Amino acid sequence: MTRPPRFDAAAEEVARVAAAAPDWEALAAAARPCVACPELAATRQHVVVGDAPAGGHPRLALVGEAPGANEDETGRPFVGKSGQLLDQLLAEAGLDRAEAAVLNVVKCRPPGNRTPRASEVARCSGWLRRQLELLDPPVVVALGLSSAKWFLGPRTVLADVRGRAHVVDGRSVWATYHPSAAIRFGPNGAPRAGLLADLTAVAGSLA
């Protein structure tokens, strides 16, 4: 019996198409009609490609898990409650969202905002990998466990990797809480304080 490949044909096709995109605009155009994940393609409104700063040279990249309802509706990342809190904490930390690329590991909203499946992450990986190649941010902030695992490996435990930079493919990767966790635990909860502390440390590393 043949074992199914971990990196399936759909993932390979996405990686091939993404790698061939010469610039951000071409990559976005190639990603928007993606149907590599049939369930996500059937239920989404938009492929949320992500935001890149004018000029295409971000000081940092913020990488979340997947779009939510507001993002699916608008086609833009982090525009709902999580995005509003992220904007607030970025400003408190001394960072400007306009200078950042804002991306997600998975570009389509999973039904009911469920956690993306490993197969979906694998199929979407080619888009994010090429985005990082084209934008070449010196620093990446991985927001939440799904994003942290994408950069640091499947056995990553957020509590073990927070609070310091990890060098991945020549970039500094900081793993921290997702803004949705900060909302869930409230304004006095540990995730909000931790996210702000980590963003402040990132700002210090960029100074």
What are the 10-residue block averages of pLDDT along the chain, 207 residues in total? 60 97 97 97 98 92 98 98 97 97 98 95 97 97 97 96 96 98 94 98 95
The first and second tokens of residue 131, run together, are 């985005």
Q: In angstroms, how far is the first alpha carbon of the chain from the final one?
A: 55
- pLDDT for 207 equals 82
Of the candidates 102, 134, 168, the one whose C-alpha atom is nearest the C-alpha of residue 30 is 134
| Residues 127, 29 contacting (CB under 8 angstroms) | no
What was the pLDDT predicted at 48? 98
pLDDT for position 2? 40
d(CA 67, CA 135): 20
Pairwise CA distance, residues 206 & 39, whole Å: 40
Q: What is the pLDDT, as a whole number, of residue 3?
A: 43
Query: Domain 9-206's class?
Result: alpha beta
Look at residues 82, 78, 65, 179 and name the one whose alpha carbon lies nearest to residue 120.
65
Query: How far is Cα of residue 155 from the mean position of the Cα atoms in its chain?
Result: 18
pLDDT at 1: 39
**CA–CA distance, 59 with 90 (Å, rounded to integer):** 13
